[in-house]
Structures are given as structure tokens and as C-alpha cells.
Amino acid sequence: MNMKRDYYEDINLFHSKTVIFWFAVLILFLVLYPFLFKNYYIYVANYIAINIIVATGLNILVGYTGLISLGHAGFFCLGAYGTVILMVKAHIPFLIALPLSSLFAGLFGFLIGLPALRLEGPYLSIATLAFGLTITQVVGKLDFFGGREGLHTSKLLIGNLHIDSDRDFYCLLIPITIIMIFIARNIVRTRVGRAFIAIRDAEIAAETIGVNVMLYKTLAFAISAFYTGVAGGLYAFVLRFIEPQLFSQMMSIMFLAMVVVGGIGSTFGSIAGAILLTLLDLELRNILSIPYLGKFLESLSKNFFSITGVSNIQFIVFGFIIIFIMLFEPLGMFGIWIRIKKYWKTWPF
Amino acid sequence: MSAIIELKDVVTFYDLIIALRSISISIEQGSITAILGNNGAGKSTILKTIMGLISRQPSKGDINFLGGKIAGIPTEQIVRLGISYVPEGREVFSELTVKENLLMGAYTRKDKKGVKKDFPWIYNYFPILKEKENQWAGTLSGGQQQMLAIGRALISRPKLLLLDEPSLGLSPLLVKEIFNIIKAINKEGVTIVLMEQNAKMALTISDYAYILENGRVGIKGPSVELLEKKEVRELYLGIYSGSSRNRYQNIKKK
């Protein structure tokens, strides 16, 4: 059992020496990573890190506060466009443009959070869905945002350092990701985080002990939108080019899927979900290059599962994997982790 | 003795359905007041109306708490005035630990040291909570959850504690225990309002009682007197005395 003897133990970020040890190993691995792997895998790592930030932020909303959003691609879009436009048009340095545009995304999150006070479940998801769809339409129509052609990012300078290659960007991105994760971990351990969980578990009881439900629901939206905004701003520099079509509805659903597959209400789960889904998304197209089986599957999907005649086997496999995970472990990857932990802790029973 | 809270001609609707038809209740400082009644008589509605949980209600009437009007104020501000509410069916935060649940209860308090000092006070009433301090509240049994819900309400140091059916779904022995604790809490000066189905228990520990019928106050009076009253005994306590056996049942049917 999780026994804590005093308050300081309770507020500790790390629960034991083992955790510190494995955390050190992880940091070491992350430091060595760019030297061990080739460029493509660094790009993959960057991509994963960005999705981790989004999933962590979305988890505060979905997992801890019990609200839902199908419009997070909209906040992602705001973060990305905000950062690029501030840098290209107003020549504001990256380290100021990123937080500014994230705050802007957070402000929008606050506004979108207002209907959340009245709407629940399916109704709320439709309202947020509408937001996600609208943003890309608006951005695509306005020439100021580059219209349908999109925008190229400007040079990324931090002080005098020119961040150019994926490897350079990795060195910038990973520390930001770790900091964001730590902040999220801390938010859910404080008064604010407990209020979020209280609202999710028993809204009326939360209200009757003095939690301002309105404030905290909109706050949850704002925080998670801020996280998504940060990730969006960074994403622009992974691709070095942004266009409205990138921020599709599919993206919002992927974000939500990361949180759900990872395990709702656990930061660890969100991270795991983000890693798994990003890897699947990027790597499943390699299915087609498996000898024999790949060719077979390709023709199968072209002939039977596709309207347009384009091979879509990777999406089918992707869907299957998610269905299987949710079928066998409804708590997601976090549930699998819990089960392993329980097995060892209660061994030999 | 003066009234800590007073409801004057309060009318509450759920949309178009009238739930309270002009209810006037006055609760003495430092007392235990029981509010009894059948299902649907409006017991819980009274508490919800006091707490401001039903939006835009009460539609008529005044609620005065310690001399100030509280009708129409947002719930979280009412809590800050010193009213605590234990909702029906416990409603603990299942994925917070027992300790965190209590911390949430002290949400409105600014004095962190005072809150820390109050933990032993709560644990003194409910020793089982101390044992299960770091366990998720969702893993507690029903009785323990009820104790936690009461503890959570107590730790905000309320002047007035509203209990909505604390005996719901508990074994007779546990009901007795909970009621004893309620009495002990009252002795420390907390005014208590008790909504109950368990009429006998509630009348035994309370000083004054209101019996609701169809959204109106039907019978009221000191609990000791009500325990002796014929119609109360027959309708709510199920004790029949000789010849009048069917009389009040017939009245009720109308």
C-alpha cells in the first residue's frame, strides 16, 4: 500500500529512490538519443514529444476534470499560426512568441470552456467539434494567414544560436516537454487539481464544499488549451511549414485517442498513449513493405476496403490495434502498467 | 435562543412541477432539527433550496441565515457563510484518498495550520478514517463513505450542518453509531438539520421536528411530543393503538 509518513513525503515529486534512478536513466537516454540514432528517428522523437505535450494537457481536461473536447486541433492551430505569424510578421523572438500565442490559445480555451458550464457529454463534444472545424475554415480563408497555401516559418534563433536541424530542435524541445509534464503533474497534486477531480467524481458535492465549479471548468479548458497551444507552436518548427489542412478533425480525434488509449486520468498513461499512437501513425505505412504479406494486404485493402482505390491498410490495422487495446484493457496502457505492478507487489499470490 | 436559519414561505419548482408549497421553517441555534416525510414530500428539496443547488429557485419566499438573506446566492458563497451539506447517497470523491477528501472539505478555509489540527478531531469521531487515510474513497464501504462525507462536511467548521438521509443503506447498528456521532457533534455547538426516513431514530435524537406532506409542513413540534402523538405514531412509526387502526390510513389515502 501507498503509505506516507509525513507531509513532505506526500508532496515529493518522486516517491522513492528507484523512481529517481529510472528517471536518471531516462534522462541519460534522452541526452544520448540524438547521438545514437539517425536523423529520421530524431524527427520521430520530436513528433512524439509534441504529441506528449498535447496529450498531457488534454488529460487535465478529459481525465481529471471529466469534460471532453473534440476541438483540440483548433487550439493546436492557434498555437502554431500564432507563433509563426508573430515571428514572421512582427519579428518577435521565438521564446516570447511561443508563450504569447499559447496564452492566446488558452484564452480561446477559456471562451470555449464557457459553454462547458451548461453542456455535457455528447453535447459538449459537438460544441467543441464545431470550434475545431471553424478555426481551419477561418484560417484558410484569410490571406493574412497565408490562406490555403499556408505559411513558412522564419529562422529559429535563440539568442545567437541558430536552431536549424532536427537535432538542434530536439535539444530545445525535450527540455520544454519535460518541464510541461512536471507542471502538469504538479497541477493535479495541488488544491486546483483536487478540485478538478472532485468536480469529475461528484459535481454537486464539490459545489457544496465551496468549489467554484464554473471557474474550475473553464480553467481546465484554458490550461489544456494552453498546453495544446505550446505544442502547436513547436509543431510549426518540426514541419517548418504550416497550412490549414494539417489541423484536420482527424487530428483532434487522434489527440483524444492518445489520452483514452493511454489511460484516462493518468499523466503516465497520456505519455504512453502519445508515444504508441504517434509511432503507429508514422510506422504503420511500413506494413506494405513486409515481404509477401504486405503485397497481399495492400491488394486486399485496395479491392475490398477502399472506396477510392487507394490502399488504406495502415489505417485499418491502426484501428484494430486501438480496438484490441480498449477491449482487453479498458483502463488503457496505464491499466496494463497497474496490472504488472500489482502482480509483482502481491507476488506470490 | 434565536433562529440560526429561517425559511419564510419558500416555494420551489422543478421546472413546472411544484415541489415546495410555501414552507416556513425556523431552526434554533444549537439544536438538532429533524425533517421527516414520505418519499417525494420535499425533504431533500428543502436542503437543495437552502444550498442554492436548484438554479433560479426558490421562486418565492426568503431564506435568512444569521440575519442575512441567502436565497439566490451561488452555492460556493453560501458554503463560505458556514453551512455544510452532506448530500444524499454520500457522493464522496471516489478517486481521491480519504485524506484528500477531507482536504477538499476544508477547501474554503484559509488557515492551513488550523485544518491540520482539525484532522485528529475528525479522526477522533471516525477512527476508521484514520486507518484508511491513504486509501481511495471509492474503495470504502458504504458506512465508511457516509462517515467520510460527514467528516468532509465537518472539517470546514460549519455553524450549520445539513444531513440528507445519513442512514441510507446502512445496517441498524451502523445507523445507531452514526446517530450517536451526530449527537456528539451537536454537543460541540454545531446546529444540525437532519432529513430522515428513519423517523423513530430521528425523533429520538432531535429536539424539534417538522413532518412534511406533499411539499407542505404537516405536523411540527418538539420531538418528544411528536413521539407521543397518535397520528405520528400510526403514520410514521407504524405503531397502532387499538380502535383507531384504520382512521389515519384512510385520511392519508385521500
Q: Give the integer Cα–Cα distance in Å for B24 and B28.
A: 13
Q: Decide: B197 and B167 in contact? Cβ < 8 Å.
A: yes
Beta strands B68-69 and B60-65 are antiparallel
pLDDT in the model for residue B67: 76
Q: Decide: B155 and B122 in contact? Cβ < 8 Å.
A: yes
* Partners of B17 in beta bridges: B14
Q: Which residue has the cell 494537457?
A: A57
Q: Can you give the pLDDT of all 254 residues of chain B as single tens digits?
A: 578 888 888 888 887 778 788 888 888 888 888 888 877 777 888 888 888 887 777 777 788 888 778 877 888 888 888 888 888 877 888 888 888 888 888 888 778 787 888 888 888 888 888 888 888 888 888 888 888 888 888 888 888 888 888 888 778 888 888 888 888 888 888 888 888 887 888 888 888 888 888 878 878 888 777 777 777 777 666 666 655 555 555 555 54
* Partners of B209 in beta bridges: B34, B221
Helices and strands, counts by H and E, chain A: 15, 4
ipTM higher than the 0.90 cut: no
pLDDT in the model for residue B25: 84
pLDDT in the model for residue A54: 93
Interface of B with A (CB under 8 A): 51, 53, 74-76, 79-80, 84-85, 87, 91-96, 100, 103-105, 107-108, 134-135, 149, 152-153, 156
- Is A199 an 8 Å CB contact of chain B? no
Beta strands A241-242 and B3-14 are unpaired
Q: List strand residue ranges (DSSP E) for A136-274, in order.
A: 151-152, 156-158, 161-163, 241-242
pLDDT in the model for residue A227: 94
Residue A308, φ and ψ in degrees, nearest 5: -85, -10
Residue ranges of chain A with pLDDT lower than 50?
1
Q: Which domains does chain B have, with CATH numbers?
A: 3-229 (3.40.50.300)
pLDDT in the model for residue B254: 47
Residues 6+ apart with CB under 8 A from A254: A277, A281
Q: Give the integer Cα–Cα distance in Å for A164 and A175.
A: 17
Residue contact B75–A2, C-beta within 8 A: no
All three cell numbers of A11, joined, read 508532496
All three cell numbers of A37, joined, read 540514432
- pLDDT per position as a tens digit, A294-335: 777 777 777 777 777 666 777 788 888 888 888 887 777 888
Quickly list DSSP for B137-165: GGGS-HHHHHHHHHHHHHTT--SEEEEE-
pLDDT in the model for residue B20: 81
pLDDT in the model for residue B87: 84
pLDDT in the model for residue A79: 92
Local structure of B52: helix, strand or coil = coil
Chain A nearest-CA residue for B88: A205
Q: Decide: A243 and A149 in contact? Cβ < 8 Å.
A: yes
